[in-house]
Amino acid sequence: MDGKLAVIGLGSIGSMALWQASRLTDSVVGFEAHSPAHGRSAAGGDTRLFRMIYRGNPAYYPLLERSRELWAELEAETGQDILTRCGGLSIGTSDGPYIRSLLETTRLTGGTHQILSREEMASRYPQHNLRADDIAVYDPKAGALRTDRAITAAVTAAEANGATVNTNTPIDSITESDDGVVITSGANSWTFERVIVASGAWSKQLMPEYLKAHTETRRIFLSWFVARDAEQFSPEKFPIFIRISGDRSMYGAPAVDGVTVKATLDGRGAPTPAADSVPRDLTPAEITETTETVSEFFPGLVPSIVRSDAFPDLFTSDSQPLMGFFSESSRIYSATGFSGAGFKMAAGYGEIAATEALGKRLFEGFDFLRPQRFQES
C-alpha cells in the first residue's frame, strides 16, 4: 500500500478534498496532471461567484453555509485573501420567472436578503442601468472567490498537514480489486485503499461506462471590460451580480485587479469535444451579444472586450454533480461533474468527498448527487 487515499486531480474540488483529507489522515497523496490551479482548468479566469441567494434545490443551502465557514478557515490557516466579501445582486424582471424562482428558493432556505426597487438600485448601485420593470435582490453574504489563491492555499495547507503532492503526473488508469486500487501514470504505479477521482472535465477516461453516458465536457467563456471610473466598479462599491432581464442575461464580478470588470453572458456552456482543446476565442456572435448587453446594462463600462477566454467543465445530464462511490462496493469515489456551478461550494464538496471516501461517515440528504442515480435508470 502506498497510502490510505489518493486524490486524482488537484483543481477546484480535488485541492479541497486533499486539504480536508489531510485533516483526517496522515496518509493522503495527491496527483495532478499539470500544476494545481493551472490556467486551462475549470478554475481559470481569476474569480468565481459565491452566493447564498439562488434559484434551485434548497438542499444546497447548508453546503453553501458550510463552504463559507471553510473558506474563512482556509484564509485563517494560510493567511490568503480568498473570498472578497462584496455582497451580490440578482437582478431581473420583477414578475419574471428568474426573480420568482429565486425568491421561492429563498423562502425555503431562509437566506438573508433585501429586495431593492428600481429607485433604490439607482441610488445605491447607479452602475446598473435597469429596465422599467426590473428589481434586485441583495445577498449580503455573496462575494468573489479568488480561484488560484483558493486552490494553491488548500494544497499548501494539505502539505503542511503531511499530504504528499505529485505534480505533472497524469493518471492514465485506475483498477480496483478486493485489496485496493492500483493507479498508473506511464510506467509508474501505486496502490491505495481508496481513490477520489476529481479530474474535472478530464474525468471521463477514469469513469465507468454508465457514467460516461451521462456526462459531457462543455466550454464556458468569460469576458472583461474596462470601467470609465474604476472606483465605481471596485469591490467596495460594486457587488457580484447576475442579471436576467427579458431577453438578455449577464453575470460578473467587480474589478478585483483594480482595472477590469468581469461581465459575461450567462448560461452559455456549450458542448466541446475535448477538455484539452477548448476554443479560447469568442465567436463573432458571442462578441456581438456580449458587447450589446454591456452597452445596455453598464453605461460606465467601455463596451469593448479587453480580455476573454474559455474553460472546460464536466456537465451531467441533470446538471447535478457526481459525489459518491462509483457503486456500493467500489473503492473509487467520484467528485466531479460540477456542471458550471461547483466552485462556490468547492470547500464543502471537498469535505464531503474526503470524509466519505475515508469511510468516516456518510452525509445525509444528498441522494440527488450520488452517481448511482444514473445506474438505476
Q: 69 vs 63, 65, 348, CA distance in Å?
A: 10, 7, 9
Task: Please identify which residue in 241, 311, 325, 333 interacts with ligand FAD, judged by CB under 6 A.
Answer: 311
**Residue 253, C-alpha cell as written in the block:** 464580478
Q: Which of 55, 244, 18 is nearest to 151 (CA)?
A: 18
Asked if residue 64 binds ligand FAD (CB under 6 A), the reply is no
Residue-wise DSSP of 286-325: HHHHHHHHHHHH-TTB-SS--EEEEEEEEEETTS--EEEE
CB nearer to ligand FAD: pick between 11 and 239: 11
What is the Cα gyration radius of the chain?
21
Smallest gap from residue 285 Cβ to ligand FAD (A): 18
Task: Please identify which residue in 3, 7, 12, 105 interacts with ligand FAD, judged by CB under 6 A.
Answer: 12
Burial 224-233 (b: 16+ CB within 10 A, else e): bbbbeebebb
CB nearer to ligand FAD: pick between 60 and 298: 60
CB nearer to ligand FAD: pick between 199 and 320: 199
Say which residues have a Cβ less than 8 Å from residue 228's Cβ, sequence separation at least 6.
300, 301, 302
Asked if residue 197 binds ligand FAD (CB under 6 A), the reply is no
Smallest gap from residue 121 Cβ to ligand FAD (A): 22
CB nearer to ligand FAD: pick between 113 and 218: 218
Question: DSSP state, 367?
Answer: G
Task: Tell the residue number behind the cell numbers 419574471, with chain if given.
Answer: 96
Asked if residue 8 binds ligand FAD (CB under 6 A), the reply is yes
Site string for ligand FAD, 98-117 (x = CB under 6 A): --------------------
Options 52-60, 67-75, 196-204, 354-362: segment touching ligand FAD (CB under 6 A) = 196-204
Interacting residue ranges for ligand FAD, rule: CB under 6 A: 8-14, 31-34, 38, 41-43, 45, 48-49, 170-171, 198-202, 220, 222, 311, 313, 336, 338, 340-344
